[in-house]
Amino acid sequence: MNLSLTLFVLLGFLAVVLLLEGAYVYWSDTKSPEVRRVEERLRAISAGGHVGEVELKLLRQRMLSDSPAVQRILLSIPRAHQLDRLMQQAGDHNTVSHFLGVCAMLFSGGVLLGLLLRWPWFLLLGVATLLGLVPLLLLVRRRNKRLRKIEAQLPEAMDLISRALRAGHAFPVALAMVGTESPQPVAAEFRITSDEVGFGVSVESALSNLAARVPSPDVRYFVMAVVIQRETGGNLAELLAKLAELVRERFKLFAKVRVLAAEGKLSAWILTLLPFGVATVIGLLNPGYLRVLFTDEAGLMLVYGALALMALGVLVMWRIINIKV
């Protein structure tokens, strides 16, 4: 074989091997599961909370978009950070730009559907707006569900911290133990707090960020108890054990209140849906019976008045059964 051809084959083989090696190194440094987990933990750290200017430099800013141009645009929107905080409370690891892109696609889909079906402009805009708000409604629902789950898991987390303190561990170590041994999602929130402390943020600031990420009265009680104890002294292990018992008793009382309020909620649903159900049945059996309500001016006034009174009744019943514990 010719020497030049042999060298060409060897160099080609070496180039292919180096290309594959470079692609693998690039993938492992940017797209591997370990890197994604680290990025999610760093993104979840709330650098915009109650930290000082020096501590702020130790943390990575939570990005609103992967594109620098879109990031600058979103930073100029007043409510962008509130939406980002809502996504963080819901446990959504996507960026704000991704979320807004999904909303825009659904809104555009509603507009195209209305144009294809030749709907009136008000119906087209109404349907498109509702479709665009679907991700936001689902996000709020996920956020409320996640917060309720954190509140239910918080007493066990405080008991774990109390036992760790009695065993001689430091408070930051106890936070890390909750982040590794407790169930999700309370473990994720305490792991973020532990990471902030590990990056150099003070315990008080990290706990304040925890209270900002999880807007729950029980979490605020936990944070205030720890902060006051660190300023005045005392037995933190015993304090957290009593606080955990207090939260458990509060949940028991809240469960009793929910059972007692269930009848009122059922009555509210029945009284709200009954007129629409009766009107639907009458419209199917005798279509012309209720036509006068929508064709005569006096009938329209009666319909509008009935809807207003129903809305007022729903508000009153909701206020009656919305018992704070």
Q: Each residue of 187-197: pLDDT tens digit?
A: 988 988 888 88
Contact at 8 Å (CB) between 223 and 235?
no
- CA 59, 63, 67, 69 dihedral sign is negative
Span 58-77, average pLDDT: 61
Between 41 and 151, where is the model more confident? 151
Indicate yes or no: pTM above 0.75.
no
Cβ–Cβ under 8 Å, residues 225 and 243: yes
CB 182 within 8 A of CB 192: no
Identify the residue whose tokens are 């292919």.
16
Taken in order 170, 171, 175, 181, the sign of the CA dihedral is positive
- The owner of tokens 């409510």 is 79
Q: Which DSSP letter does residue 76 get? A: T
The pLDDT mean for the chain works out to 79
Q: pLDDT tens digits for 102-113?
A: 888 988 888 888
- Give the integer Cα–Cα distance in Å for 261 and 318: 10
Q: Which of 25-34, 158-167, 223-232, 296-305 has the lowest mean pLDDT?
A: 25-34
Which pLDDT score is estimated for 50?
44
Size of the chain, expressed as the number of residues it contains = 325
Q: What gap in Å lies between CA 242 and CA 108, rounded to an integer? A: 53
Q: What is the pLDDT of residue 74?
A: 67
Q: Write the pLDDT tens digit of every residue in 218-272.
A: 889 899 989 888 888 788 888 888 999 988 888 888 878 777 777 777 877 888 8
Residue 217 has pLDDT above 70, yes or no: yes
- Could you identify the residue written with the tokens 């080609």? 12
DSSP calls for 26-65: HHHHHTSHHHHHHHHHHHHS-TTSS--HHHHTTS----S-
Fold of 150-250: Receptor-associated Protein (1.20.81)
Whether residue 87 contacts residue 94, with contact meaning beta carbons closer than 8 Å, is answered with yes
Place of tokens 């909370």: 49
Exposure string of 109-120, with b = 16+ CB inside 10 Å and e = fewer, is ebbeebeeeebe
- The tokens for 185 are 């999602």
pLDDT of residue 55: 43
Nearest CA-CA partner of 138 in 183, 86, 214, 95: 86
pLDDT bracket for residue 324 (50, 70, 90): low
Residue 69's pLDDT is what?
Answer: 67
More confident residue, 178 or 317: 178
Least confident of 5-14, 62-71, 160-169, 258-267: 62-71
Q: What is the DSSP letter of 119?
A: -
Q: Does residue 53 have a pLDDT over 50?
A: no
Judge whether residue 291 has pLDDT over 50: yes
SS3 content of the chain, % helix, strand, coil (to 5): 80, 0, 20
Q: What is the pLDDT of residues 121-154, one digit of tens each?
A: 777 888 888 888 899 899 999 998 999 899 889 9
Residue 169: DSSP 8-state: -
CB atoms under 10 Å from CB of 225, counted, come to 18
Specify the pLDDT at position 236.
86
| Average pLDDT of the residues in 171-194 | 89
If one counts every other C-beta atom within 10 angstroms of the C-beta of residue 30, the result is 10
| 202 close to 55: Cβ distance less than 8 angstroms | yes
Looking at residues 173-185, what average pLDDT do you find? 89
